[in-house]
Amino acid sequence: MSTRNCQGMDSVIKPLDTIPEDKKVRVQRTQSTFDPFEKPANQVKRVHSENNACINFKSSSTGKESPKVRRHSSPSSPTSPKFGKADSYEKLEKLGEGSYATVYKGKSKVNGKLVALKVIRLQEEEGTPFTAIREASLLKGLKHANIVLLHDIIHTKETLTLVFEYVHTDLCQYMDKHPGGLHPDNVKLFLFQLLRGLSYIHQRYILHRDLKPQNLLISDTGELKLADFGLARAKSVPSHTYSNEVVTLWYRPPDVLLGSTEYSTCLDMWGVGCIFVEMIQGVAAFPGMKDIQDQLERIFLVLGTPNEDTWPGVHSLPHFKPERFTLYSSKNLRQAWNKLSYVNYAEDLASKLLQCSPKNRLSAQAALSHEYFSDLPPRLWELTDRLSCHHSGKKKKKTLMKWPIIRRESRIGFLPLPAVDFTYKKIEAGKTLFSLQFI
């Protein structure tokens, strides 16, 4: 039997075989003060030899040094780069700069991989920006193939650096390179991945709150990743033509524009609908040019001016003044965005996402079950969260799946949805590349 007393000692009460049962010996042993991580004394010198041996030289009583050799499989030089240190990364080029943060393309000296370095300048009187703290804390707990990966955090007196995986472009830049609307097959894959990532964070009661094409990264294999969870990019990375504040309005739901503070997952789903329409049509769904009033007018022009019948509770919102808005009736979405009619179920899905009343919007999980995605292969639905792969059941053997840009974007016009041939290609022993080929 073992007990613990208040002095921090372990007390062991154990009967001995050589004495009567009623007589017991009480033994007290103090806890060891040995610290395995304690630095060696000054008189001990650690030297790494050329053959990877660690030699400890310690002065003996005779005044001579007696070496003790201990082998290392991989010596750790004091100059070796480590995670969490600024000198572990090399800055290659500047990607963007804002009022308090600068983003660089960089390279890790630890593994040689490309990274994105978001360097946030700290001010003594203000401390660390709350948006940076939020972004770091959220991303450290999110592990999903469709969410940007936070590799490292470096904190110094002058800066806070967030080290992300490097993704070479974003959806905004991708659409700029391919004006007139993306190929419908690519739209479907991008939207599928966006909804997967959102479903993952929504199940964990996390809202992105700033969905827009600039915050959706696209890898060279076609993998889409949600980024910028701290609302920091709107202040730190300048947009293309318009200010970030105006651009963000384009994807902001009408309930938020009218002053609602009851945020829920439906807030993000409005942005999904706007991005979906923009990928298909080739232009922003609601590109307001002036202010919140103008933004709401553009929304009501398509969806109709709301009232208590179409949107219960709208009159109680702080900024809703019926006399300020033109009275519009709702219309079919294809009247506003004709290319929705070219793709099966696209208009229906968009109409269920772009609902003025937040309670009427589809959730991310429900949107994934929409008929619009019915022609995707079953294997896509079996993807794990953390990686785009399937474990085959055999040890150290998995089936990899990439998200290729499966069709060159057409600059001529919008093409009807082609037939789909899903094929598997062997690339390495024990691995299979899952590719989509549209014919």
Residues carrying an active site annotation: 210
Residue 427's φ and ψ, nearest 5 degrees, are: -120, -35
Whether residue 402 is annotated as binding a ligand: the answer is: no
Residue (of 355, 202, 339) closest to 273 by Cα position: 355
Strands 45-48 and 53-59: antiparallel
State the DSSP code for 98. -
Residue 49's φ and ψ, nearest 5 degrees, are: -85, 175
Q: Report helix, strand or coil for 250.
A: helix
Instruction: Locate 285 and state its tokens.
Output: 């769904």
Instruction: Locate 417 and state its tokens.
Output: 């949805």
Strands 398-400 and 389-391: antiparallel
Between CA 169 and CA 105 the distance in angstroms is 12
Between CA 430 and CA 423 the distance in angstroms is 17
Q: Which residue has the tokens 């017991």?
A: 24
**Neighbouring residues of 102: CB distance < 8 A, sequence distance ≥ 6:** 94, 96, 118, 119, 121, 236
* Contact between 147 and 139 (Cβ < 8 Å): yes
* Burial environment of residue 187 by CB neighbours within 10 A (0 to 12, 13 to 18, 19 or more): buried
Between CA 349 and CA 373 the distance in angstroms is 10
Instruction: Locate 65 and state its tokens.
Output: 């040094």
Binding-site annotation: residue ranges: 118
